């Protein structure tokens, strides 16, 4: 298998594994990542399938990237756009079927497994370097256009807006505070602190060796 084929495989695997992990996050109910918090809020107020809603929101974000910086768009962008939402939907349904009422320990295991799997998926997806997700592109374009604002601060702002908007929409839909903590909770904070180091670990031990094998 040549290098480009390996990169495509890594992108597809990254997106599929990412979707599986997000479904685990949602079922564990300890909180999800910022973009999924926004999607959860939209899902609570818009009565269509989550997979379809995910595609529509990402098409809107894709238009932003096409207007501002098309270099951020690649094959992986479209794999993410059209596949991830439906994998999340499938994963959450399977978690509900296999673990209909997990206790605190079961939820903790689901969350930790989801965090590790999401980090592995991200390492595969980013290392493949075939474009970024439409959400990732927003902070990247913003930081490049507004050179006085480093990327990390642009990302903090976009993430914060997603969390606040998602939480507000969840509350407007009639969701209780206890349910809201399943969307924006301790898991959101843990993910923010530990996902970066885990991605770096999997990038070094899994993703780069996969691509290096292809190069040889």
pTM, entire model: 0.74
pLDDT at 215: 42
Rounded to whole angstroms, the Cα distance separating 73 from 144 reads: 15
The region that residue 209 occupies, defined by phi over 0 for left and psi between -120 and 50 for alpha, beta otherwise, is alpha
- pLDDT tens digits, 184-213: 888 888 887 787 788 888 988 999 898 885
For 56, the domain range is 3-215
**Tokens 């970024």 map to which residue?**
132
How confident is the model over 41-93, as pLDDT tens digits?
999 999 998 888 988 998 999 898 888 888 778 888 888 888 888 898 899 99
Quote the CA–CA distance of 85 and 22 in Å, as a whole number: 10
Query: Which one of 79-83, 109-113, 145-149, 176-180 scores highest in mean pLDDT?
Result: 109-113
Task: Report d(CA 36, CA 16) in Å as an integer.
Answer: 15
> For the segment 24-47, what is each residue's pLDDT rounded down to a tens digit?
988 898 888 888 889 989 999 999
Tally of structural domains, the chain: 1
Rounded CA gap, 45 and 89, in Å?
17
Q: Looking at the predicted structure, is the pLDDT value of residue 168 above 50? A: yes
> How far apart are the C-alpha atoms of 66 and 210, rounded to whole Å?
31
The angle formed by the CA atoms of residues 214, 137 and 149, to the nearest 5 degrees, is 120
């Amino acid at each position: 298998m040549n290098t480009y084929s390996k990169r495509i495989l890594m992108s597809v695997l990254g997106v599929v594994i990412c979707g599986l992990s997000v479904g685990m996050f949602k079922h564990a109910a300890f909180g999800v990542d910022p973009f999924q918090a926004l999607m959860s809020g939209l899902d609570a107020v818009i009565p269509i399938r989550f997979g379809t809603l995910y595609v529509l929101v990402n098409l809107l974000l894709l238009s932003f990237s096409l207007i501002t910086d098309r270099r951020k768009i690649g094959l992986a962008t479209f794999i993410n756009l059209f596949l991830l939402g439906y994998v999340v939907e499938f994963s959450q349904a399977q978690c509900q079927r296999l673990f209909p009422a997990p206790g605190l320990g079961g939820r903790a295991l689901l969350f930790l497994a989801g965090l590790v799997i999401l980090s592995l998926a991200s390492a595969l997806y980013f290392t493949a370097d075939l474009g970024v997700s439409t959400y990732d592109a927003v902070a990247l374009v913003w930081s490049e256009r507004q050179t006085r604002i480093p990327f990390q601060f642009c990302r903090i702002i976009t993430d914060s807006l997603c969390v606040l908007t998602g939480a507000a929409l969840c509350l407007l839909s009639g969701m209780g505070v206890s349910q809201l903590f399943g969307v924006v909770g301790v898991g959101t904070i843990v993910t923010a602190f530990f996902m970066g180091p885990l991605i770096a670990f999997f990038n070094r031990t899994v993703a780069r060796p996969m691509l290096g094998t292809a190069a040889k």
